[in-house]
Structure 1
Amino acid sequence: MKQIMPAAIAFLSLPIFLASPVYAQEVNQELYELCSRFPFNSRCEGVSVPIPLERRSGTRIICSLELNSPAESEQCRLAIADNNLTLYIEVGDRISLLDNQRATEEITIPLSNIFALDLRIWDRRADANSLLFGGSLYVQQPQDYSDVERTFNPSTDNDERSGFGSQDFAEIEISYRMPDVAASENQSNVLSIAASEEFGFFLREQITPNLASPASGVLLGEPEAISSATAAGTASNTATLTQQLLDTNRCIRCDLRGADLRGADLEDANLEGANLEGANLTEANLEGSYLVGANLSGATLAEADLSQAWLALASLTSANLQESNLQGASLQSANLQSANLSKAQLEGARLYQANLQEATLTDAGLGDVTTARNFIPFVGIQRYRFYTSLRGANLSGTNLQNADLEDVDVTDANLSGANLSGVSLEEVDLSNTILCGATLPDGSTSTQGCP
């Protein structure tokens, strides 16, 4: 995950005041004190007053945005009211008038625009490597979170950064649609938050009831709608757009159907909503790429590196993902129906409510993985052990022969008619999983969850 900070985003609600170091130097202390408290005073008309974070409302947290983020700060405040999530984030240089503090910008996200939310609790541990080489090992806790304290009072608990980086913490990722944007700009973004466990649960409880349904077309619509809004898929257009992508690492909602991108270096590429139907991406490097809402139906991604990629709402129907690396990828509500994921590395991938109906996951890795990298930007380079989530996913008719399901979360998943031969289920909690007609490791057919 990149460490990119939030930007001035014109398509969201504008900040109450536009922070400007130039204006700040023109405002004396008396006028600043007046206008920062009473902005509608007649003397304040036309005056732009920067507001520091300490004068904003909400709970103090650490945050970042995946896209559109020129700010160089992780300090934020967050408040939820009137079905909106309001984020205040530091921007610009330090201002002497503000006692060397920075100005803030306001970003408003309607709760109805949020289409995916992921909560992970990280447990800090010390092991032999920590003692020998320093650093910490953060281990993702099982998603029942039965032993985690959940009490949070937004009116009294206004700073959730205490002890952060030296103890357990919550990581919350919020994927949301941004309204009224230019055709050439991103329609979505991902807000990452680090805070206490209690705040993580509070946020999830506030947002989940309002979570937009992927089926309602909250982001980009169907692949046909995407392609109709792009240039006609002629060979010359495809070649031009392919070169644009290779030159700039960006091609939002481009028509790249059938493009030859074998072995291309597209790390951190911005391909939101791009139409890559039937494209050849064999052995391509797509690590950390932004493919939210993209159409990869029928694409060839064999041995491609999609680790840490953003693929929520993406279509990967009948795609060839053999031996691809999807470790830590975000695939919430993605469509992988009939996709070939044999021998794919899916450790730590998030497939909440994904459609894997009749997909092939023979010999796929779905267990845990430990990685040493800047996986969470707020903590720096540490080691993280995280687990695959198939919570609520549709795996009916899927071939999971010899797949590694150890420590995988399959709560509320549908495994009816799946082939589980050769799979070790000893460490897998199947109590809330539909298994009707599934072939179990001993060759028997399960009746669990049958009508």
Structure 2
Amino acid sequence: MNFKTLAFSVILSTLGFATVAQAENESDLQRLRTTNRCPECDLRGANLQQFDLRGAHLFKAQLQGANLRGVDLRSANLNQANLYDADLTQANLADANLFDANLRNTILERADLREADLSQADLSQVNLIKADLRDASLVNANLSESYLNQANLENADLRQAFLFNSDLEAANLTRANLLGADLRRANLDRTNLESANLTATILADTNVDRAELSQTVLKGSVLQGTDLAPIVCVVSNVVNCVISPASEQAEDLFFEPEIEN
């Protein structure tokens, strides 16, 4: 077999594989459209804007690069689904199951994620600007380097969440549970943390300029390299508060909650 024949065979083989993959994709799309169930389906790059996926069963579905802008996915099962690089702008994912899902690099701007289960999900480098995450579960979720500007995380469960270098400017974290969360180098400028639980939270080198910390629990929080000077130190749930500018490279600071008699 000469080189030209071999090259032509490789091209035909590649085209044949692409045709088979496309056929499988179309088959999965039809299955989803008619049954609203497509676990482990191949829906990579699919345009699903016209689909009604409320309550859809998409366990372990391959949805990389899919177009899901504005799609209704309320109460959908996306447990362990791969949504890498998908567009979910203004999608409705309220009460959806996204446990252990791959959402890395997705667009979730203005998405509705109220009461969604995002525990252990990979949400790194995600656009969550102005997203609604009220009462969402984000336990052990990876939100590193994500944009959560003006997002609403009121009463969200962020225990042990990884928020390294994330942008939470002007976000609402009222009554959020951030116990043991990692917020190193995060931007909390103008973030509302009123009544939030920051017990044992790592806030090293974190920007807390103009953050609202009234009634915030900071017991055992690591504040090394954090400049607390611009904010009010005397808050009702913290005693023996010490302000130490980042330039002094102070040792870790630990706040003890006030004990009420």
Short-chain TM bin = 0.7 to 0.9
Instruction: Output the CA distance in 2 between the equivalents of 1:365 and 1:419.
Output: 15
Cα pair distance change 1:232/1:330, threshold 3 Å: farther
- Correspondences of 1:21-60 after superposition (within 5 Å): none
- Correspondences of 1:182-197 after superposition (within 5 Å): none
Kindly provide the CA deviation profile for residues 177-231 of structure 1, in whole angstroms up to 9, marking residues without a partner as x.
xxxxxxxxxxxxxxxxxxxxxxxxxxxxxxxxxxxxxxxxxxxxxxxxxxxxxx9
Instruction: Output the CA distance in 1 between the equivalents of 2:79 and 2:59.
Output: 5
Q: 3-state DSSP class of the match of 1:234?
A: helix
- Correspondences of 1:97-246 after superposition (within 5 Å): 234-246=21-33
Query: Which residue number in structure 2 is paired with residue 288 of structure 1?
Result: 75
Cα pair distance change 1:236/1:305, threshold 3 Å: same
Contact 1:304 1:325 in 2 (8 A): yes
Instruction: Output the CA distance in 2 between the equivalents of 1:349 and 1:313.
Output: 14
Query: Which residue number in structure 2 is paired with residue 301 of structure 1?
Result: 88
Instruction: Output the CA distance in 1 between the equivalents of 2:37 and 2:251.
Output: 45
TM-score (normalizing by structure 1): 0.43
Instruction: Output the CA distance in 1 between the equivalents of 2:20 and 2:121.
Output: 24
Query: Which residue number in structure 2 is paired with residue 435 of structure 1?
Result: 203
Q: Does 1:366 align with 2:164?
A: no
Q: 3-state DSSP class of the match of 2:131?
A: coil
Q: Does 1:412 align with 2:199?
A: no
Query: Which residue number in structure 1 is paired with residue 168 of structure 2?
Result: 400
Deviation for aligned residue 1:337: 0.5
Query: Which residue number in structure 2 is paired with residue 24 of structure 1?
Result: none
Instruction: Output the CA distance in 2 between the equivalents of 1:278 and 1:359.
Output: 18
Deviation for aligned residue 1:420: 0.4
Q: Does 1:322 align with 2:109?
A: yes
Q: Does 1:260 align with 2:28?
A: no
Q: 3-state DSSP class of the match of 2:144?
A: coil
Contact 1:233 1:257 in 2 (8 A): no
Instruction: Output the CA distance in 1 between the equivalents of 2:65 and 2:33.
Output: 18
Kindly provide the CA deviation profile for residues 253-279 of structure 1, in whole angstroms up to 9, marking residues without a partner as x.
011100100142101100000000000
Cα pair distance change 1:450/1:258, threshold 3 Å: farther
Query: Which residue number in structure 2 is paired with residue 119 of structure 1?
Result: none
Q: Residue 272 of structure 1: which of 59, 65, 68 is its match?
A: 59
Cα pair distance change 1:232/1:299, threshold 3 Å: farther
Structure 1 ranges of 4+ moved more than 4 A = 446-451
Instruction: Output the CA distance in 1 between the equivalents of 2:158 and 2:36.
Output: 31
- Long gaps (5+) in structure 1: 1-230, 368-386
Instruction: Output the CA distance in 2 between the equivalents of 1:233 and 1:401.
Output: 47
Q: Which protein has the bigger strand share?
A: 1
AA partner of residue 190 (structure 2): G
AA partner of residue 430 (structure 1): L
Kindly provide the CA deviation profile for residues 120-148 of structure 1, in whole angstroms up to 9, marking residues without a partner as x.
xxxxxxxxxxxxxxxxxxxxxxxxxxxxx
Deviation for aligned residue 1:432: 1.5
Q: Does 1:343 align with 2:112?
A: no
Deviation for aligned residue 1:243: 1.8
Instruction: Output the CA distance in 2 between the equivalents of 1:425 and 1:309.
Output: 25
Instruction: Output the CA distance in 1 between the equivalents of 2:252 and 2:121.
Output: 26
- Correspondences of 1:58-97 after superposition (within 5 Å): none
Q: Residue 426 of structure 1: which of 180, 187, 194 is its match?
A: 194
Tell me the number of residue pairs that the alignment of Structure 1 and Structure 2 aligns. Answer: 202
Deviation for aligned residue 1:246: 1.1
AA partner of residue 304 (structure 1): A
Instruction: Output the CA distance in 2 between the equivalents of 1:316 and 1:340.
Output: 10
The higher-RCO structure (CA 8 Å, 6+ apart) is 1
Query: Which residue number in structure 2 is paired with residue 175 of structure 1?
Result: none
Deviation for aligned residue 1:449: 8.8
TM-score (normalizing by structure 2): 0.73
Instruction: Output the CA distance in 1 between the equivalents of 2:190 and 2:21.
Output: 46
Instruction: Output the CA distance in 2 between the equivalents of 1:306 and 1:232.
Output: 32
Deviation for aligned residue 1:422: 1.2
Deviation for aligned residue 1:232: 8.7
Instruction: Output the CA distance in 2 between the equivalents of 1:233 and 1:325.
Output: 36
